[in-house]
A and B are shown apart, each in its own frame.
Chain A
Amino acid sequence: QQQVKQSPQSLIVQKGGISIINCAYENTAFDYFPWYQQFPGKGPALLIAIRPDVSEKKEGRFTISFNKSAKQFSLHIMDSQPGDSATYFCAAAFSGGYNKLIFGAGTRLAVHP
Protein backbone atom coordinates (compact mmCIF):
# COMPACT_ATOMS: atom_id res chain seq x y z
CA GLN A 1 0.00 0.00 0.00
CA GLN A 2 2.99 2.25 0.40
CA GLN A 3 4.29 1.70 -3.12
CA VAL A 4 4.25 4.10 -6.00
CA LYS A 5 4.53 2.36 -9.36
CA GLN A 6 6.15 4.32 -12.17
CA SER A 7 6.34 3.61 -15.87
CA PRO A 8 8.00 3.45 -18.30
CA GLN A 9 11.44 2.61 -17.00
CA SER A 10 13.02 4.46 -19.90
CA LEU A 11 11.75 6.74 -22.62
CA ILE A 12 13.19 8.10 -25.84
CA VAL A 13 11.56 11.14 -27.37
CA GLN A 14 12.45 13.30 -30.32
CA LYS A 15 13.11 16.98 -29.77
CA GLY A 16 9.85 18.87 -29.79
CA GLY A 17 7.79 15.82 -28.86
CA ILE A 18 5.73 15.14 -25.77
CA SER A 19 7.17 13.01 -22.97
CA ILE A 20 4.65 11.21 -20.79
CA ILE A 21 5.48 9.41 -17.57
CA ASN A 22 2.87 7.64 -15.49
CA CYS A 23 2.56 6.76 -11.82
CA ALA A 24 0.01 4.83 -9.80
CA TYR A 25 -0.51 4.53 -6.07
CA GLU A 26 -2.62 2.48 -3.70
CA ASN A 27 -2.83 4.43 -0.47
CA THR A 28 -5.72 6.90 -0.71
CA ALA A 29 -4.32 8.78 2.27
CA PHE A 30 -1.60 10.25 0.06
CA ASP A 31 -2.31 13.94 -0.48
CA TYR A 32 0.84 15.34 -2.05
CA PHE A 33 2.27 14.19 -5.37
CA PRO A 34 5.52 15.78 -6.52
CA TRP A 35 7.72 15.11 -9.51
CA TYR A 36 11.48 15.37 -9.29
CA GLN A 37 14.14 15.73 -11.95
CA GLN A 38 17.60 14.32 -11.35
CA PHE A 39 20.70 14.75 -13.47
CA PRO A 40 23.59 12.27 -13.12
CA GLY A 41 25.62 12.87 -9.98
CA LYS A 42 23.19 15.47 -8.63
CA GLY A 43 20.46 15.52 -6.07
CA PRO A 44 16.83 15.54 -7.22
CA ALA A 45 15.12 18.86 -7.79
CA LEU A 46 11.41 19.51 -7.45
CA LEU A 47 9.78 20.12 -10.82
CA ILE A 48 6.10 20.40 -10.04
CA ALA A 49 3.68 19.05 -7.45
CA ILE A 50 -0.05 18.57 -7.15
CA ARG A 51 -2.64 17.92 -4.44
CA PRO A 52 -5.67 15.67 -4.98
CA ASP A 53 -8.16 18.54 -4.97
CA VAL A 54 -7.20 19.50 -8.54
CA SER A 55 -7.04 17.40 -11.69
CA GLU A 56 -4.33 19.27 -13.51
CA LYS A 57 -1.49 21.65 -12.82
CA LYS A 58 0.70 23.32 -15.40
CA GLU A 59 4.00 25.11 -14.99
CA GLY A 60 5.64 26.12 -18.23
CA ARG A 61 6.19 23.03 -20.36
CA PHE A 62 5.45 20.68 -17.46
CA THR A 63 1.94 19.47 -16.64
CA ILE A 64 0.70 17.05 -14.02
CA SER A 65 -2.57 15.26 -14.70
CA PHE A 66 -4.20 13.69 -11.67
CA ASN A 67 -6.96 11.07 -11.67
CA LYS A 68 -8.12 10.55 -8.12
CA SER A 69 -10.61 7.78 -8.86
CA ALA A 70 -8.02 5.78 -10.78
CA LYS A 71 -5.29 6.62 -8.28
CA GLN A 72 -2.99 7.67 -11.07
CA PHE A 73 -1.02 10.75 -11.97
CA SER A 74 1.21 11.58 -14.85
CA LEU A 75 3.83 14.08 -15.97
CA HIS A 76 3.66 15.56 -19.44
CA ILE A 77 6.65 17.42 -20.83
CA MET A 78 5.64 19.46 -23.84
CA ASP A 79 8.11 20.47 -26.55
CA SER A 80 10.74 18.17 -25.04
CA GLN A 81 14.32 19.41 -25.35
CA PRO A 82 17.68 17.62 -25.15
CA GLY A 83 18.28 19.50 -21.89
CA ASP A 84 15.30 17.65 -20.42
CA SER A 85 17.26 14.39 -20.66
CA ALA A 86 17.39 13.22 -17.06
CA THR A 87 15.82 10.76 -14.67
CA TYR A 88 12.36 11.67 -13.43
CA PHE A 89 10.87 10.41 -10.20
CA CYS A 90 7.29 10.64 -9.08
CA ALA A 91 6.58 10.52 -5.38
CA ALA A 92 3.73 10.59 -2.91
CA ALA A 93 3.35 11.69 0.68
CA PHE A 94 0.59 12.14 3.21
CA SER A 95 -0.13 14.58 5.97
CA GLY A 96 0.84 13.80 9.48
CA GLY A 97 3.99 12.35 10.86
CA TYR A 98 7.09 13.50 9.08
CA ASN A 99 5.56 13.55 5.58
CA LYS A 100 7.91 10.91 4.21
CA LEU A 101 8.16 10.81 0.45
CA ILE A 102 7.53 7.47 -1.23
CA PHE A 103 9.39 7.46 -4.54
CA GLY A 104 8.63 5.67 -7.77
CA ALA A 105 11.38 3.67 -9.46
CA GLY A 106 12.27 6.44 -11.88
CA THR A 107 12.13 7.00 -15.63
CA ARG A 108 15.23 7.72 -17.66
CA LEU A 109 14.29 10.16 -20.37
CA ALA A 110 16.46 10.74 -23.42
CA VAL A 111 15.47 13.51 -25.80
CA HIS A 112 17.16 13.16 -29.14
CA PRO A 113 17.87 16.23 -31.27
Chain B
Amino acid sequence: GAVVSQHPSWVICKSGTSVKIECRSLDFQATTMFWYRQFPKQSLMLMATSNEGSKATYEQGVEKDKFLINHASLTLSTLTVTSAHPEDSSFYICSARDRPGMSYNEQFFGPGTRLTVL
Protein backbone atom coordinates (compact mmCIF):
# COMPACT_ATOMS: atom_id res chain seq x y z
CA GLY B 1 0.00 0.00 0.00
CA ALA B 2 0.83 3.71 0.13
CA VAL B 3 1.83 4.09 -3.50
CA VAL B 4 2.33 7.46 -5.14
CA SER B 5 2.66 7.78 -8.89
CA GLN B 6 3.82 10.62 -11.09
CA HIS B 7 3.18 11.30 -14.72
CA PRO B 8 5.04 11.77 -16.90
CA SER B 9 8.26 10.16 -15.71
CA TRP B 10 10.22 12.40 -18.02
CA VAL B 11 9.42 15.29 -20.32
CA ILE B 12 11.37 17.43 -22.77
CA CYS B 13 9.93 20.77 -23.80
CA LYS B 14 10.92 23.92 -25.59
CA SER B 15 11.71 27.10 -23.72
CA GLY B 16 8.62 29.21 -23.15
CA THR B 17 6.14 26.36 -23.07
CA SER B 18 4.23 25.09 -20.03
CA VAL B 19 4.47 21.61 -18.60
CA LYS B 20 2.05 19.85 -16.26
CA ILE B 21 3.15 17.10 -13.89
CA GLU B 22 0.60 14.91 -12.13
CA CYS B 23 0.98 13.31 -8.73
CA ARG B 24 -1.50 10.65 -7.63
CA SER B 25 -1.95 8.68 -4.45
CA LEU B 26 -3.13 5.30 -5.69
CA ASP B 27 -4.36 3.53 -2.59
CA PHE B 28 -4.93 6.20 0.02
CA GLN B 29 -6.41 9.63 0.35
CA ALA B 30 -3.77 12.33 0.59
CA THR B 31 -4.85 15.33 2.58
CA THR B 32 -1.49 16.97 2.04
CA MET B 33 0.88 16.74 -0.89
CA PHE B 34 4.34 18.21 -1.18
CA TRP B 35 6.34 19.18 -4.24
CA TYR B 36 10.11 19.03 -4.24
CA ARG B 37 12.79 19.94 -6.75
CA GLN B 38 16.12 18.15 -6.85
CA PHE B 39 19.11 19.28 -8.88
CA PRO B 40 21.85 16.76 -9.73
CA LYS B 41 23.78 15.55 -6.72
CA GLN B 42 21.82 17.80 -4.40
CA SER B 43 19.21 17.32 -1.74
CA LEU B 44 15.47 17.66 -2.08
CA MET B 45 14.27 21.24 -1.84
CA LEU B 46 10.67 21.72 -0.80
CA MET B 47 8.85 23.98 -3.23
CA ALA B 48 5.34 23.99 -1.84
CA THR B 49 2.81 22.26 0.34
CA SER B 50 -0.72 21.75 -0.87
CA ASN B 51 -3.84 20.70 0.96
CA GLU B 52 -6.87 19.40 -0.85
CA GLY B 53 -9.26 22.17 -1.71
CA SER B 54 -7.07 25.07 -0.60
CA LYS B 55 -4.29 27.19 -2.02
CA ALA B 56 -0.77 25.88 -1.89
CA THR B 57 1.77 27.30 0.52
CA TYR B 58 5.01 28.12 -1.25
CA GLU B 59 8.47 28.12 0.25
CA GLN B 60 10.47 31.31 0.28
CA GLY B 61 12.02 32.02 -3.09
CA VAL B 62 9.63 29.85 -5.10
CA GLU B 63 7.63 31.82 -7.65
CA LYS B 64 3.98 30.94 -7.19
CA ASP B 65 3.05 32.36 -10.58
CA LYS B 66 5.62 30.20 -12.29
CA PHE B 67 4.94 26.96 -10.45
CA LEU B 68 1.18 26.53 -10.32
CA ILE B 69 -0.06 23.87 -7.94
CA ASN B 70 -3.55 22.47 -7.88
CA HIS B 71 -4.80 19.90 -5.36
CA ALA B 72 -8.34 19.42 -6.56
CA SER B 73 -8.98 16.01 -5.03
CA LEU B 74 -7.70 13.77 -2.27
CA THR B 75 -5.80 11.67 -4.77
CA LEU B 76 -4.47 14.16 -7.30
CA SER B 77 -2.19 17.16 -7.25
CA THR B 78 -0.69 18.85 -10.29
CA LEU B 79 2.35 21.06 -10.74
CA THR B 80 2.42 23.26 -13.82
CA VAL B 81 5.70 24.88 -14.76
CA THR B 82 4.67 27.92 -16.77
CA SER B 83 6.88 29.48 -19.43
CA ALA B 84 9.61 26.98 -18.69
CA HIS B 85 13.24 27.96 -19.19
CA PRO B 86 16.41 25.85 -19.23
CA GLU B 87 17.13 26.75 -15.61
CA ASP B 88 13.87 25.00 -14.66
CA SER B 89 15.33 21.71 -15.84
CA SER B 90 15.37 19.49 -12.79
CA PHE B 91 13.97 16.38 -11.13
CA TYR B 92 10.55 17.12 -9.65
CA ILE B 93 9.30 14.81 -6.91
CA CYS B 94 5.98 14.81 -5.12
CA SER B 95 5.06 13.20 -1.84
CA ALA B 96 1.80 12.62 -0.06
CA ARG B 97 0.57 12.21 3.48
CA ASP B 98 -2.57 10.35 4.37
CA ARG B 99 -5.23 11.45 6.77
CA PRO B 100 -4.15 12.69 10.21
CA GLY B 101 -4.17 9.89 12.73
CA MET B 102 -2.71 7.37 10.32
CA SER B 103 1.01 6.78 9.58
CA TYR B 104 1.95 9.78 11.66
CA ASN B 105 4.23 12.13 9.78
CA GLU B 106 5.20 9.63 7.11
CA GLN B 107 5.34 10.94 3.59
CA PHE B 108 5.17 8.61 0.63
CA PHE B 109 7.22 9.74 -2.33
CA GLY B 110 6.52 9.45 -6.02
CA PRO B 111 9.13 8.20 -8.51
CA GLY B 112 9.91 11.69 -9.78
CA THR B 113 9.63 13.50 -13.11
CA ARG B 114 12.70 14.53 -15.05
CA LEU B 115 12.06 17.85 -16.81
CA THR B 116 14.43 19.03 -19.52
CA VAL B 117 13.83 22.43 -21.06
CA LEU B 118 15.63 23.05 -24.33
Q: Report which A residues bind B (CB closer than 8 A).
A: 32, 34, 36, 41-46, 49, 89, 93, 95, 98-101, 103-106, 108
Contact = CB atoms under 8 A, between A and B. Distances in A.
A44 B109 contact: yes
A4 to B, nearest CB: 9
Contacts of A44: 44, 93, 109
B107 interface: yes
Contact of B93 (A34, A43, A93, A108): A43
A42 B111 contact: yes
A42 B112 contact: yes
Contacts, number: 57
Contact residues of B: prevailing secondary structure = strand
Contact residues of A: prevailing secondary structure = loop
Nearest to B107: A101
Contact of A99 (B6, B42, B97): B97
